[in-house]
């Protein structure tokens, strides 16, 4: 039975710690565990067999650190992985296989930090993971497990390498401290939004903490994940006794923690540091007595960076100023690749209240495909606010999505067949949200009803690609009233109509006043009308005081700003 099929109706039991078991078999301090396993296959078989006999459905190959940067130069990545898979298969042959058994390719962190925190590039990391994945597939593993990731960016690279080079199921877990952050500051909510969006088959947490300390993190993951949740806790916390790490939780206490994981929704269980076959046996013998539960789900659209997430609801502010259209200073900065100017524009908008920053580098003289990922990386090195990737260039969009760290918004697709066919597959691949413009081959319709029909077409096509309605933002388009005055109210009507589709709405507000005096007053009035009609995301200049006044006032009137706390803090002298 294929592992995904088994998971539909069963709790999947993984094995436990490998490192300490290898030490008991003679692995010396500083010795490479993967090379030790290659040179001592019988000892590795004994460990795998012990876990299988204890009740494990899945055994991880002894390849956690098997990459070209860590491995002893005497052996290739391919040799070590092939041997590790062969050994795991032999162990499975040694036991009673009345229950399904699977071999998982174990992929751990590379061991070097990715840019901008370190010097390892995205592309180099991708090639390292790709090499592991390709050999795992060739050697015949059943599932790929990417585990103990401390950096969301590295986890994303590993998942992309697995997705793009195999058809195997992919499980991905990160490690968090007791404060709920990874070593690089990633939050569980951001991990779920980003990694689940990439299309993994299971997501979760392993290592770092014992069952008691991990439970709040598991609850956060389980409340937002729509794929199976995986947990591999440590055997409590370590105490150093005579130079040896002794963990403070035994097998029975560990199982009590496992019960709580299952009760909040975890369906893939194993052990990490300090665990051994006795822990897995305790789980295997007693897990059927546990009632599988499900924590209350938080079903909200989330965009994020690694360390900050935004639940998109009305009104959410998207800063518009990182767009060179009509901004000569930004145009010059982008031509000269002066990213500091763009970063400062972003920071100014965040300080003024932007929750998301739109990023557009569209100029005829610029190589968008090259500049978009560069600017995104530079901004993300300084600003933790989520970004919206804005381009009419499909290649630039894909590059932006690929190198973005987190979950972003694609701006945009429209009702043209060419746009639908080229943009929506990219949106789905990278797990992004998407803006849909209500225009098609005939242009922008004058009437709300016609824009609504285009919106329906976009929504239906997006859903057919597996994009959820909550992640679709329809832009009913604002046109300048100095030229098309009668169409302003059509935009407002269209917003109300589109809300019936169960999607969100977004609008570039300032277009309405182009060519007129006192633009700020007109923009603020139109924004208020749009918010009342159901606008969720307002693309505005947050540095315009009147626009943020309208936003902050509306948050009181629609009961978002509970107790008027934000409003009072903002405007009290």
> Rounded to an integer, what distance in angstroms lies between the CA atom of residue 531 and that of residue 537?
9
Give 39's contacts (C-beta < 8 A, 6+ positions apart): none
Is 186 annotated as contributing to ligand binding?
A: no
Distance of CA 155 to the CA centre of its chain: 9
Closest by CA position to 546, among listed 514, 572, 509 = 509
Encoded tokens for 531: 């918010």
Q: What are the boundaries of each domain within the chain?
A: 3-289
> Rounded to an integer, what distance in angstroms lies between the CA atom of residue 64 and that of residue 207?
13
Encoded tokens for 46: 């004994």
The pLDDT value given to residue 298: 94
The pLDDT value given to residue 247: 86
Could you please report the per-residue DSSP string of 28-95? PTT--HHHHHHH-HHHHHHHHHHHHHHT-SEEE-S-TT-STTTS-TTS-HHHHHHHHHHHHHHHHHTS
Contact 191, 199 (CB under 8 A): no
Is 190 annotated as contributing to ligand binding?
A: no
The pLDDT value given to residue 438: 99
The pLDDT value given to residue 29: 87
For each successive 10 residues of the chain (573 residues), what is the average pLDDT? 94 97 92 95 98 98 96 91 98 90 98 95 98 99 99 99 99 97 97 99 97 98 98 90 81 97 98 97 96 92 98 95 93 93 97 98 93 96 98 97 98 98 98 99 97 99 98 97 89 98 97 91 96 98 95 93 91 81
CB atoms within 10 A of CB 541: 19
CA atoms within 13 A on the CB side of 198: 31
Is 273 annotated as contributing to ligand binding?
A: yes
> Rounded to an integer, what distance in angstroms lies between the CA atom of residue 226 and that of residue 78?
34
In terms of C-beta distances under 8 Å and separation of at least 24 residues, what long-range contacts does 97-103 make, across chains too?
Answer: 99/57, 100/1, 100/3, 100/6, 100/57, 101/52, 101/56, 101/57, 101/58, 101/59, 102/3, 102/57, 102/58, 102/59, 102/142, 102/143, 103/58, 103/59, 103/61, 103/140, 103/141, 103/142, 103/143
The pLDDT value given to residue 394: 97
Burial of 51 (0-12, 13-18, 19+ CB in 10 A): buried
Which position has the token pair 């429209």? Answer: 414
Q: Domain 3-289 adopts which CATH fold? A: TIM Barrel (3.20.20)
Give 285's contacts (C-beta < 8 A, 6+ positions apart): 55
> Rounded to an integer, what distance in angstroms lies between the CA atom of residue 66 and that of residue 18?
14
Encoded tokens for 64: 């956690």
> Rounded to an integer, what distance in angstroms lies between the CA atom of residue 516 and that of residue 520?
10
């Amino acid at each position: 039975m294929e592992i995904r099929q088994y998971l539909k109706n069963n709790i999947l039991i993984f094995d436990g710690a490998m490192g300490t078991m290898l030490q008991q078999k003679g692995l010396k301090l500083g010795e490479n565990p993967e090379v030790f396993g290659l040179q001592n296959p019988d000892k590795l078989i004994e460990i795998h067999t012990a876990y299988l006999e204890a009740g494990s459905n899945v055994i991880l190959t002894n390849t956690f650190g098997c990459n070209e940067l860590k491995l002893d130069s005497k052996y290739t990545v391919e040799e070590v992985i092939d041997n590790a898979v062969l050994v795991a298969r032999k162990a499975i042959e040694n036991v009673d296989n009345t229950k399904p058994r699977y071999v998982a390719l174990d992929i751990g962190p590379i061991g070097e930090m990715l840019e901008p925190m370190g010097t390892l590039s995205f592309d180099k990391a991708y090639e390292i993971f790709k090499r592991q994945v390709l050999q795992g597939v060739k050697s015949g593993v059943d599932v790929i497990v990417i585990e103990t990731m401390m950096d969301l960016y590295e986890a994303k690279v590993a998942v992309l390498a697995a997705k793009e080079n195999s058809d195997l199921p992919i499980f991905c877990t990160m490690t968090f401290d007791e404060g709920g952050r990874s070593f690089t500051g990633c939050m569980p909510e951001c991990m779920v939004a980003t990694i689940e969006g990439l299309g993994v088959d299971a997501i979760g947490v392993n290592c770092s903490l014992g069952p008691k300390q991990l439970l709040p993190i598991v609850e956060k993951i389980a409340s937002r994940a729509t794929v199976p949740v995986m947990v591999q806790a440590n055997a409590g916390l370590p105490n150093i006794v005579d130079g040896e790490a002794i963990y403070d939780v035994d097998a029975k206490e560990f199982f009590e923690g496992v019960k709580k994981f299952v009760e909040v929704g975890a369906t893939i269980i194993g052990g990490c540091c300090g665990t051994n076959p006795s822990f897995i046996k305790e789980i295997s013998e007693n897990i059927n007595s546990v009632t599988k539960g499900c924590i209350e789900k938080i079903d909200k659209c989330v965009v994020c960076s690694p360390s900050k997430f935004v639940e998109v609801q009305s009104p959410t502010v998207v800063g518009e100023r990182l767009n060179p259209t009509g901004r000569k200073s930004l145009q010059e900065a982008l031509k000269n690749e002066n990213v500091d100017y763009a970063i400062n524009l972003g920071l100014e908008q965040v300080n003024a209240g932007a929750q998301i920053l739109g990023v557009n580098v569209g100029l005829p003289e610029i190589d968008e495909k090259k500049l978009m990922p560069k600017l995104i990386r530079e901004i993300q090195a300084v600003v933790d606010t989520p970004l919206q990737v804005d381009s009419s260039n499909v290649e630039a969009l894909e590059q932006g999505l690929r190198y973005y760290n987190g979950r972003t918004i694609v701006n945009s697709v429209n009702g043209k067949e060419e746009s639908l066919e080229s943009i929506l597959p990219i949106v789905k691949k990278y797990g992004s949200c998407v803006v849909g413009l209500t225009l098609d081959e005939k242009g922008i319709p004058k009437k709300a009803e016609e824009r609504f029909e285009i919106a329906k077409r976009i929504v239906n096509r997006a859903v057919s690609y597996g994009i959820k309605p909550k992640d679709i933002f329809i832009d009913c388009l604002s046109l300048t009233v100095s030229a098309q005055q009668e169409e302003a109210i059509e935009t407002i009507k269209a917003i109300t109509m589109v809300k019936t589709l169960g999607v969100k709405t977004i609008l570039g507000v300032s277009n309405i006043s182009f060519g007129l005096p006192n633009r700020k007053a007109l923009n603020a009035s139109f924004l208020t009308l749009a918010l009342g009609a159901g606008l969720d995301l307002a693309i505005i200049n947050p540095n315009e005081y009147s626009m943020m006044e309208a936003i902050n006032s509306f948050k009181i009137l629609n009961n978002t700003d509970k107790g008027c706390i934000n409003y009072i803090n903002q405007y009290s002298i």
